[in-house]
Structure 1
Amino acid sequence: MSLASVTQAPDRPMVLIVDDEIANIEIINAVLEDDYDVCFALSGQEALDLAKAAQPDLILLDVLMPGMDGFAVCAALKQDRLLADVPVIFTTGLGDSEDEMRGLSLGAIDYVTKPVQPPILRARVANHVEVKRLRDRLAQMAVTDALTGLSNRRHLERTMEIETARLARQCEWLSVVMLDIDFFKQFNDAYGHPAGDRCIAMVASALTRAVRRASDLPARYGGEEFVCVLPSTDVAMAEMVAGEISRQVRQLGIPHERSGVAPVVTVSIGIAGARCVAGACAQDWIDAADAQLYRSKREGRDRISATVFEPGTPDRGRPDHDRAAPPRRAFG
């Protein structure tokens, strides 16, 4: 399977077969094709390229290949942050326990000897794929907010660190949008905490509809606060996203009889944007957006405030770039 033609059914695991002998690939493919999407590579370097593109659930890796052998490929896979957790099963005709130990020490999880025995191969692949999927689900739960299904604060902070470092290479923009449900304590007092949880979940859904790019990250920051990370986005573009967030929340039409600004639930929003530079601290964007959120709340709520700042001085947005959108009073 070529690099450009890698496709995967959403409910079928992907297995990558790596072998320099096409006959071996055909045999293994015949054993697995009924239960898995299968792609293949004929060399070590092709295997690494295809693994990055396909993100397989398991790799069946031949040991003896010309050029980059299976040991070298396995070592490279385990050094790649995105591929390190993909289980590797060596397929080999070797019967040397020393070679087996070497492979296991590099991070492989199992060995299958050639010629393969179909029932054993199916069982071992199935077991290791299931273990990986369970591990992936646990990892996803660890970075997901249980109430809203959004990323949690832990995932947000990690993403911010990655994005500030990545975008600094080209001095690209990064903007952060922080929002807070207006008069949420009063909402809980009036309608009760179960209704408050439903309100938070509905606002999270509105946030997901408003933040559409795959590269953007909406997250629950805590309580009734949310944060959106917008890579390669300047403040003007971030304000457009924030405006759509506000509109989507209003369209929910959640009654709020104790709000001081509207008969329905609204949000206050703060935006901070800057060009990323080497050594920039991800927390600077959070602090600057939080300061703008506080400004929106101080100046009447149900509005958007934004700043362009220089990393290292997040609480001092340049005055000529600080701005707050006028309050919106057109209810409904």
Structure 2
Amino acid sequence: MSALPQTPAIPSGLPAPAPSRILVVDDQPLNIHAMHRVFRNEHEICMATSGPQALEFCRATPPDLILMDVLMPGMNGLEVCRALKDDPATEHIPVIFVTGLSTQDEENRCWEVGCVDFITKPVNITTMRNRVRAHLLLKQQSDLLRQTAWLDGLTGLANRRQFDERLEKEWLRCQRAGCAMSLLVIDIDHFKRYNDRYGHLAGDDTLRRVAEAVRGAARRPGDLPVRLGGEEFVLMLPEIEREGARVVAERLEADIRALQIAHADGEGGVVTVSVGYATGHPSREDQARAESLVGRADVALYAAKTAGRARALAAE
């Protein structure tokens, strides 16, 4: 594709979306710079010159939309899109292919891997601007709906509905990748007594503070902090082995204790949590399902409660 001319803003019947992060993926820097000139006054433009670089960027800093060439050396755009859609952490990023491919079979392959649109080279600037604008608006609207449906209203963490959907997907992804998956189940100790003594407003504030600690323990884009309901939380840790899960569980238990939230009926006079954690290897456990990992973590949580609370224990 030849360099795109710099053009003024083009009127559209669509409302202008809020400034967004667009990732341009192309092995030709000239094409990237051309895209940058078109969108730099409206959005934050990032770039990647290879498929692996694009995947790394998306997992670390998910963009709002991707403009990607199909034909690239090594890992082509179709392979990148398929990998993005296979990962729950990146599957909702819309991909628009900017391509010189024109046959029906080539177009069908673009749709099959999960793109939302494609723009044929040579690019019509007006068409590209309006398609990008339309898909950014759709992304913003779908993000809002997803937040309403998938987030806990009190803490802002993922809710049970999102957890149930992500759990099976992550299990299958780890199975295909041949990697481990760990899960922490966290329960606030003596929380009913806390509510009875301090009131539900104080209880809600404590839930929010514990939720922030759980959120802080999710340090990678693929980690999922969840409020299952009541005083129970979950932290999903894909690609984490047992030792890594132990470190996260013990650190989280200590971090919540260090909040020093007064609790006269609690262990040591402060709010504490009990944590049960389990690790599974989906590729080695053909008969096991994701639910078995939750069950094992629950058993470990019960053992932590029985052993005196305020501790993290591993599943057998």
* TM-score (normalizing by structure 1): 0.65
Find the aligned partners of 1:117 and 1:126 in 2 and give their Cα distance: 12
Aligned-residue offset at 1:200: 0.6
Could you say which residue in structure 1 is the equivalent of 2:96? Answer: 88
The answer to whether the aligner puts 1:175 opposite 2:182 as a matched pair is: yes
Could you say which residue in structure 2 is the equivalent of 1:151? Answer: 158
**One-letter amino acid matched to 2:192:** K
Aligned-residue offset at 1:181: 0.7
Aligned-residue offset at 1:234: 3.9
The answer to whether the aligner puts 1:304 opposite 2:312 as a matched pair is: yes
Could you say which residue in structure 2 is the equivalent of 1:205? Answer: 212
Unaligned 5+ segments in structure 2 are 1-18
Contact preservation (8 Å) 2:180, 2:240 = yes
Find the aligned partners of 1:84 and 1:260 in 2 and give their Cα distance: 42
Could you say which residue in structure 1 is the equivalent of 2:202? Answer: 195
SS of 2:228's partner is: strand
Alpha-carbon displacement from aligned partner over 1:136-183 (angstroms, at most 9, x marks no partner)? 343344332222222222333333323333333565443322121111
SS of 1:252's partner is: coil
The answer to whether the aligner puts 1:251 opposite 2:261 as a matched pair is: no
The answer to whether the aligner puts 1:128 opposite 2:152 as a matched pair is: no
Of 53-62 and 295-304, deviating more is 53-62
Contact preservation (8 Å) 1:249, 1:265 = yes
Contact preservation (8 Å) 1:180, 1:224 = yes
The structure, 1 or 2, with the larger RCO (C-alpha pairs under 8 Å, 6+ apart) is 2
Matches within 5 A, 1:284-303: 284-303=292-311
Change (3 A) 1:83 1:61: farther
Could you say which residue in structure 2 is the equivalent of 1:263? Answer: 269
Unaligned 5+ segments in structure 1 are 1-10, 309-332
Change (3 A) 1:298 1:127: same
Aligned-residue offset at 1:198: 0.7
Identity of aligned pairs, percent? 31
SS of 1:151's partner is: coil
Change (3 A) 1:192 1:53: same
Alpha-carbon displacement from aligned partner over 1:46-78 (angstroms, at most 9, x marks no partner)? 6x667645555143779xx899xxxx9789958
**One-letter amino acid matched to 2:281:** R
The alignment of Structure 1 onto Structure 2 pairs a total of residues equal to 283
SS of 1:226's partner is: strand
Contact preservation (8 Å) 2:241, 2:279 = yes
Contact preservation (8 Å) 1:182, 1:301 = yes
Could you say which residue in structure 2 is the equivalent of 1:281? Answer: 289
Change (3 A) 1:289 1:84: closer
Find the aligned partners of 1:269 and 1:143 in 2 and give their Cα distance: 24
Change (3 A) 1:77 1:203: closer
**One-letter amino acid matched to 2:298:** D
Change (3 A) 1:286 1:124: closer
Change (3 A) 1:180 1:88: same
**One-letter amino acid matched to 1:239:** R
Change (3 A) 1:171 1:198: same
Give the superposed CA RMSD: 4.3
Could you say which residue in structure 2 is the equivalent of 1:320? Answer: none
Matches within 5 A, 1:134-145: 134-145=141-152
Find the aligned partners of 2:72 and 2:298 in 1 and give their Cα distance: 56
**One-letter amino acid matched to 2:294:** I
Change (3 A) 1:232 1:102: closer
Aligned-residue offset at 1:126: 2.7
Of 213, 218, 226, which residue of structure 1 is paired with 2:225?
218
**One-letter amino acid matched to 1:302:** A
**One-letter amino acid matched to 2:228:** Y
